[in-house]
Amino acid sequence: MRLVLVGPPGAGKGTQAQFLAAHYSIPHISTGDIFRANLKAGTPLGVQAQSFMDRGELVADSVTNEMVKDRLTHDDVAHGFLLDGFPRNVAQAEVLRAILAEKKTPLHAVLEFSLANEEIVARLSSRRTCKDCFQPCVGVDKCPQCGGDVYQREDDKAEVIARRLEVYQEQTSPIISFYRTEGLLISVGALGSVEDITAHAISALSRVSE
List the helix and strand counts (H, then E) for the chain. Answer: 9, 8
Helix, strand, coil abundance in the chain, percent, nearest 5: 50, 15, 30
Q: How far is the CB of 206 from ligand AMP (least distance, A)?
A: 26
Decide: 133 and 156 in contact? Cβ < 8 Å. Answer: no
Question: Does residue 164 carry a catalytic annotation?
Answer: yes
Question: Does residue 13 carry a catalytic annotation?
Answer: yes
Which residue sits closest to ligand AMP, CB atoms considered?
32
Kindly tell me the burial class for residue 101, based on how many C-beta atoms sit within 10 Å of its own C-beta (0-12, 13-18, 19 or more).
exposed
Question: Does residue 97 carry a catalytic annotation?
Answer: no
What distance in Å separates the CA atoms of residue 193 and residue 158, rounded to the nearest whole number?
25
Kindly tell me the burial class for residue 86, based on how many C-beta atoms sit within 10 Å of its own C-beta (0-12, 13-18, 19 or more).
buried
Interface with ligand AMP (CB under 6 A) = 9, 31-32, 35, 52-53, 56-59, 64, 85-88, 92, 155, 164
Cβ proximity to ligand AMP: between 60 and 199 the closer is: 60
Cβ proximity to ligand AMP: between 12 and 32 the closer is: 32
Q: How far is the CB of 102 from ligand AMP (least distance, A)?
A: 19
Q: Which of 13, 36, 123, 128 is catalytic?
A: 13
Q: Which of 36, 88, 123, 128 is catalytic?
A: 88
Question: Does residue 123 carry a catalytic annotation?
Answer: no
Q: How far is the CB of 8 from ligand AMP (least distance, A)?
A: 10
Question: Does residue 128 carry a catalytic annotation?
Answer: no
- Active-site amino acid positions: 13, 88, 127, 153, 164
